[in-house]
Amino acid sequence: MNGFAEVFVEFLPTDNGGRRAPVCLSTEEHLGYRPHFRVEGGDGEYLGVQFVDGPDDPLPPGATTYATVRFIYEPNVCYDALVVGAQFEVMEGSQVVAAGRVTRR
């Protein structure tokens, strides 16, 4: 495994249950944005990721972007479900704040 994936992410608007504040996906942040992915059609497992490359400016709710994520718990957690084309939800706790798909591994 390479421990990284490129993804396309669509953040939900606030009035559709999305975040209330913009999110920074660049590595400028101290620890970066570290949500979980839940693969659609999978076993429901939350897969911890860290956004390590994305737009320099914070993204408002409702925005879309391409970004790179790092699999922060590999090799202790299996990220095999995140194959190219896999669709996932971006989770902050139990709240779905975005949806996306893997574009490259």
- Strand-pair partners of 71: 49
DSSP label at 59?
Answer: B
Say what the pTM is: 0.93
CB atoms within 10 A of CB 78: 13
- Residue 22 pLDDT exceeds 90: yes
- Residue 31 pLDDT exceeds 90: no
Over range 6-15, report the average pLDDT: 97
What pLDDT was estimated at residue 30?
65
Q: Which among 43, 34, 15 is positioned nearest to 90, based on CA atoms? A: 34
Average pLDDT, the chain: 93
User: Which run of H or of E encompasses 45?
Assistant: none
Sketch out the chain's domains with CATH numbers: 4-104 (2.40.30.10)
Based on the number of CB atoms within 10 Å of its own CB, is 36 exposed (0-12), middle (13-18) or buried (19 or more)?
middle
What pLDDT was estimated at residue 26?
79
What pLDDT was estimated at residue 5?
97
Q: Which among 93, 14, 101, 1 is positioned nearest to 61, based on CA atoms? A: 14
